[in-house]
Structure 1
Amino acid sequence: MKLKGRHVIWSLVFLVFGFLLTYSYQQTKNESQIIQLSDSEWEKDYFYRQQLINLEEKNRELRMELSSNRQEIQLLEEELGKQEETLGDYVELKKQLQMLTGELPIKGKGMQVTLRDSDYIPTEENANQYIVHDRHMHLVINELFSAGAKAISINGQRIYKDSFISCVGPVVSVDGVPHPAPFTIAAIGDPEVLDVSLNLTNGVVDILLSDNIEVEIEKKKDIEMRARVS
């Protein structure tokens, strides 16, 4: 009985072992099978692969073209920036020239020179020797321009390159407009330079004083002059 029981156990073991071997062999066989593709399937696979390669190549070319275009745009932007800066400089230069010629108003720091007739005129002397004349005005104006004045006015009337100043009786005419004494000559420029130029030894101020003209000089932080009326 014991021998028979052992035979049954061994039979069950061999049966299970055989089943496992058979199952393992079958799985290995199934997994090792090579999938066979038909000619049409091979053609489709090749076509799609080729399309993918072409797309990747096209994308690479487009990326290179995009990078090149960006560089060109950057260069153009830099060039336009330089042109705008140059144009801005020209516009500013034109504006400065227009202010100097009187086409536009101008303002800035500078100096104010006031010329007055002498308060004391001896009875035995000629009164003309104690009053301001057009030559005195020209003397001051020429010195101020030589010292770098950008704009000059007499009693608020702007002086231009073609302005005409002359004595007309007791007044001075500036471009046909009469101005009585005292005469205030305003100049826009560096006040320090203008002051030194006027006060040179034997210079403008000394000449005016020797001609019995009263001179008052004052530095100004803000002088404004209107544009020329056409």
Structure 2
Amino acid sequence: MRNRRLMYALVFFVLGFLITISFEHARTESDIVQLGGEEWEEEFFYRNQLIELEEKNKQLRSELNQMKQEINKVEASLSDEKDSIHHLVDMKNKLQKLTGALPIKGEGIQITLEDATYVPNEEHANNYIVHDRHIHTVINELYSAGAKAISINGQRIFRSSHITCVGPVILIDGQTYPAPFVISAIGDSEILNVSLQLKNGVMDYLVQDHVQVTIEKKGTIEMQAKEL
């Protein structure tokens, strides 16, 4: 902004100078008219002065045009710099959203994992509940399909998050959550949904492990920033 003000000041100064020159030129021309009745030598002298003034004005106009072109170039450069700064700020905000430093929202899907409602043999009840391996499988598939952000039961998780199974509950970075486990993922809902339901993929694996799965597409999912 300071550079732009200096340029405008310079342009106004040059314009003022040209106006002053033009005014002096008009006065000189008037004097020449008054002196039109003088001898031929004197008239020739003033005509040469007029020609020199016209050449000087022409040169000044040329210099002014060059300065305007330079100002246009600088303004374009400043505009590009502004766009570049805007781009960097936008990129910074996107990275902060991905790292959890800022809230994020967008379309996506919601996957609910529940323990089996029917356990035929209580001695093998452990085979009918959701384990951390099931959650890891879903999360890895979502990231592979382009998920921008993921949460479990409302808690943001990241690739470095620690998820472990402790009996019927899971620990996520030290926080305890019971079933059902609601996994929300922000991203292209169609791609995420298709990725989970590929033949012999994640969905089939969960069903074979007696996990009840529900998948819903969501127009908008909101996730809060990571708590410090």
Whether the TM-score (by the shorter chain) exceeds 0.5 is yes
- For 1:11-160, what aligned pairs fall within 5 Å after superposition? 37=39, 48-160=46-158
**SS state of the match for residue 119, structure 1?**
coil
Distance in structure 2 (CA, Å) of the matches to 1:194 and 1:113: 10
Superposed CA deviations along residues 35-89 of structure 1, whole A, max 9, x for unmatched, are: 775xxx966x566545433332221111001111111111222222222222222
For 2:217, which of 190, 212, 219 is the aligned residue? 219
Cα shift at 1:123: 3.9
C-alpha separation in 2, matches of 1:209 and 1:195:
16
CA distance in 1, matches of 2:115, 2:196: 19
2:108 alignment partner AA:
G
CA distance, structure 1, for counterparts of residue 160 and residue 95 of structure 2? 16
**CA drift at 1:169:** 2.7
Unaligned runs of 5+ in 1: 1-34
**TM-score, normalised relative to structure 1:** 0.77
Separation of aligned partners in 1, 2:215 and 2:65: 67
CA distance in 1, matches of 2:50, 2:146: 76
Structure 2's unaligned 5+ residue stretches are 1-36
Shift of 1:175: 0.5
Question: How far off its partner does 1:93 sit?
Answer: 1.6
State TM-score, norm by structure 2. 0.78
Which shows bigger deviation, 166-175 or 75-84?
Answer: 75-84
Instruction: Determine the structure 2 residue equivalent to 1:12.
Output: none
Residue 227 of structure 2 aligns with an amino acid whose one-letter code is V
Shift of 1:122: 2.0
Match of 1:17 in 2: none
Please report how far the alpha carbon of residue 168 of structure 1 lies from its aligned counterpart in structure 2 after TM superposition: 2.0
Once the two structures are superposed, residues 170-213 of structure 1 have per-residue CA deviations (whole angstroms, 9 ceiling, x without a partner) of: 21111101011100000001111111111111111111111111
Query: Partners in 2 of 1:61 and 1:152 — Cα distance?
Result: 67
In 2, distance between residues paired with 1:164 and 1:95?
Answer: 25
Cα distance in 1 for partners of 2:151, 2:168 equals 20
Query: CA RMSD, aligned part only?
Result: 1.9
2:77 and 2:205 mapped to 1: Cα distance? 57
| 2:107 partner letter | K
- Identity across the alignment (%): 57
For residue 95 of structure 1, report the CA deviation from its aligned partner.
Answer: 1.5
Given the superposition, is the C-alpha separation of residues 161 and 123 from structure 1 closer, same or farther in structure 2, using an over 3 Å criterion? closer
Instruction: Count residues in correspondence.
Output: 192
SS at match of 2:120: coil
Please tell me whether Structure 1 or Structure 2 has the larger radius of gyration of its CA atoms: 1
Q: Secondary structure at the match of 2:94?
A: helix
- Determine if the alignment matches structure 1 residue 165 to structure 2 residue 183: no
